[in-house]
Amino acid sequence: MTTRIFGSGIRRREDPRLITGGATYTDDVQLPGMLQVAILRSPHAHAKINSVDTTAAAAAPGVVAVYTGADTDGVLNPIPCAWTPPDCELIAVAHPAIAKDVARYQGDAIAVVVAEDRYQAEDALELINVDYTPLPSVTNPEAAMQPGAPQLHEDAPNNQAFHWIAQGGDTDAAFEAADVIVKDTIIQQRLIPNAMEPRSAVASWTKATGELTLWSTSQNPHICRFLASLVTGVGEHKIRVIATEVGGGFGSKIPMYADEMIASFCSMQLGVPVKWTATRSEGFLSTIHGRDHVEYVEMAASREGKILAIRTKIYAGMGAYLSTAGPGVPTVLHGLIYSGPYDVGATKADIYGVFSNSTPTDAYRGAGRPEATFLVERLVDLLAVELGIDPVELRRKNLIPKFEDGHDVASGVTYDSGDYEPLLNMVLGHADYQALRQEQATMRENGHYMGIGVTCYTEICGLGPSQVAGAVGFGGGLWESAIVRFHPTGKVNVYSGISPHGQGEETTFAQIISDELGVDVDDVAIIHGDTSNTPMGWGTYGSRTTAVGAAAMVLAARKIKEKARLLAAHLLEAAEADVEYADGHFTVKGSPDQTKSIQEMATMANVAWNLPEGMEPGLEASAFYDPPNFVYPFGTHLAVVDVDVDNGHIVVRRYIAGDDCGPQINPMIVEGQVHGGVVQGIGQALWEGVVYDDNGQLITGSMTDYALPRAHLLPQMEVLSTVTPSPHNPLGVKGIGETGAIASTVTVYNAVIDALRPLGVTRLEMPLTPEKVWQAIRQQQGS
């Protein structure tokens, strides 16, 4: 019996090219005769554009062309929003690639220069003379909906982009009947994803054939092609998008941006290839932001601590325009998961999507679910204090009992499988929770303040059934497809429409196929990221790549195996029913010496010298997989923090992540995903946050001003897991890419509040900077 490689933490095959500098990211692409593109961006958050004078820029050294909104108007179609939830009066305002009349956020594209090199292009930007009339601006989503607020779009009165309500159960009755109601106001501050690779595009138009090739830093090249087709008018069959090496995304490389289409426009106008690469500062302005909620949240419960209902009213900032998936994030990905892991009778999400003079928001790691988990876990902690119950016991009391094949929650979604308490116990045991509480009590007596935060979460990912996608206004399907091809030598290529960009699926998918087909893992290569040689797929986001994409390739592999079995029966001159497959071999039942390897069948199928009647040559198959449901990973996270009350400084002393993503293909990679997610979530709790000034100027516009997590500020994370398979996909796998970020922000936040509670500090706004913590303590001491 061969050993299954599924479950083995083998080294990644991606790494040799990445540790030697041998990988080709978009900005590394060099084409003969390629010109450089630089984009002029509005310095104003809101301004009328009276005129754009490009004369001097056009005459500058090396400049080949300068274009403005007047040039792209009518040539490039507006940048579309592709997720428009129904029944919420959504107003998909037109988003021109280059602003022509009005600039609506600092960073809105105003003009573009094409020059021989990037220095010349940047120089020429400074020679463009734009006459602006600044207009009043607003960036806070709640403020943007108040009477008298500056208005962004004529067709969106009150700056309301949509009003989405999801209600399950009778929340109002539950609140009426409740013994206890706890409330909070939560600011989910704006975050900037900051994938380390800035966005970049290389566009190459071939006039003679009418074909556009676009290297793009995309998480979903097939969606990119589809949207590029809508914007440029070039047929999908004439567009090739290449995103084979992408340096992180975290959601920020899902959208179709204006910039990539501007680059395409330039190439199509000039008939030469062009490259545009964002500087980091440019990325801060023009790449999507995440979160940005102002939330009023409340929870109803019985005196005994039974959670009865959760209700929210939320202003979700959409930015100046609706980004590709923007409206789906604070709605479908947020409001349907308020039950978390708890048995809650009624939930209601009342969400306003709001335009403001800010960079558009879209999916950022966790996308809607960190915000949901935050508010639920925040309310549970408030309830625990209110009722005088230990927060862990309160959670335990409300957990949904084990279920293996479906559990309906109030919002209307059906969780696939869950077994929450064992993981809670595992984390508590590992941390020695009781000892931590004792230590906390002792420390407090000595004037030291440590806090413990415990989060239980369930999230929704593995997006998702296409029928549901259609019902919730997602402008596409959410299935995946794969082609598995045996070559005559017995080596295998798998072609997939998903598009990993750091998650290591070239390795994990090869592990899966190696097991399925009984071939050595090194004999399998995974091909992804280029629309010209991969089948249609909807891309990598929403922790769907393995749950959906791998499922498709498994189905294809199984088709191949069956064909090879029939061929083996023919060549062994045995009855088809008598030939069995095991470990890469087909053997006649009861005659172990009558056997053929799958590699031999690959050869024989490809040469086709002797096939059964009616069998087609070749050994390959394609399969499409549309999942019947989402997947619902879950877990318990625990943080221990020490707060120095003299200076407000917070140290995360311990962080324990217990997650259940079903069977783990490669535990080393799973752990890496947890580490990264947890740290991004800690970043939100402690350091990261967008600051706009009163004029809509981005104050945190560089890595000097926007505080990203650094190595010396972080603890060793302790990673635990249980395995609860999903009942509905062929591998039983769930997602792990986002869980860390979903759980860790509130875990750390609750730990800090737990530390400060004796001092009277019960709420703070993130990020929890030393100054804010210190001020809050001082305020309490003064009162």
Partner 1 sequence: MNIQLTVNGKSQEKDVDPRLLLVHFIRDDLGLTGTKIGCDTSQCGACVVSMDGKTVKSCTCLAVQANGTEVTTIEGVSNNGELVPMQEAFWNNHGLQCGYCTSGMIITTMELLKKNANPSEDEIREGLKGNICRCTGYQNIVKSVQAAAEVMRS
The residues binding partner 1 (CB under 8 A) are: 11-12, 14-25, 27-28, 30, 118-119, 194-198, 245-248, 250, 277, 279-281, 501-504, 668-669, 671-672, 675-680, 702-704, 708-712, 714, 716-717
In whole angstroms, give the CA distance from residue 278 to residue 442.
Answer: 52
Minimum CB separation of residue 635 from partner 1 in Å reads 16
The nearest distance, CB 27 to partner 1, in angstroms, is 7
| Bridge-based pairing state of the strands 492-496 and 524-527 | parallel
Q: Which is nearer to partner 1, 168 or 683 (CB)?
A: 683
Amino acid at position 282, single letter: E
In angstroms, give the least distance from the CB of 11 to partner 1: 6
Contact 111, 56 (CB under 8 A): no
Shortest separation between residue 416's beta carbon and partner 1, angstroms: 27
DSSP 381-428: HHHHHHHT--HHHHHHHHBPPPBSS-EE-TTS-EE--B-HHHHHHHHH
Least separation in angstroms between CB 711 and partner 1: 4
Query: Of 106, 501, 109, 80, which is closest to residue 256 (Cα–Cα)?
Result: 80
Q: How far is the CB of 750 from partner 1 (least distance, A)?
A: 20
Closest CA to 252 of 328, 356, 162, 326: 326
Query: Which two tokens mark 778?
Result: 């001082």
Shortest reach from residue 348's CB to partner 1, in Å: 35
3-state SS assignment for residue 160? strand
Please enumerate in sequence order all residues whose Cβ is within 8 A of that of 495, keeping only pairs 6 or more positions apart, or say none.
482, 483, 484, 485, 527, 528, 533, 534, 535
Considering the complex, state which of residue 18 and residue 566 has its C-beta at the smaller distance from partner 1: 18
Torsion of CA 98, 103, 105, 108, to 10 degrees: 20
- In Å, the largest CA–CA distance within the chain is 92
Instruction: Name the pairing type of β-strands 407-408 and 346-355.
Output: unpaired
> Which pairs with CB-CB distance under 8 Å and at least 24 residues apart come from 607-612?
607/488, 610/570, 610/571, 611/567, 611/570, 612/566, 612/567, 612/569, 612/570
**Least spacing, CB of residue 751 vs partner 1, in Å:** 18
Task: Give the residue with the Cβ less far from partner 1, 295 or 688.
Answer: 688
Nearer to partner 1, 149 or 669 (CB): 669
Nearer to partner 1, 247 or 330 (CB): 247
Least distance CB 718 / partner 1 (angstroms) = 10
3-state secondary structure of 364: coil
Considering beta carbons, is residue 16 or 33 the nearer one to partner 1? 16
Q: Is the CB of 272 or the CB of 669 nearer to partner 1?
A: 669
* Residue 28 CB, nearest approach to partner 1 (Å): 4
Q: Which two tokens stand for residue 410?
A: 């109030």
HEC per residue, 622-682: EEEECCCCCECCEEEEEEEEEEECCCCEEEEEEEEEEEECCCCCCHHHHHHHHHHHHHHHH
Closest CB to partner 1 among residues 61, 758: 61
* Between 22 and 147, CB nearer to partner 1: 22
Give 22 or 32: the residue with its C-beta nearer to partner 1: 22
Token readout for 748 is 């750390």
CA separation for the pair 438, 436 (Å, rounded)? 5
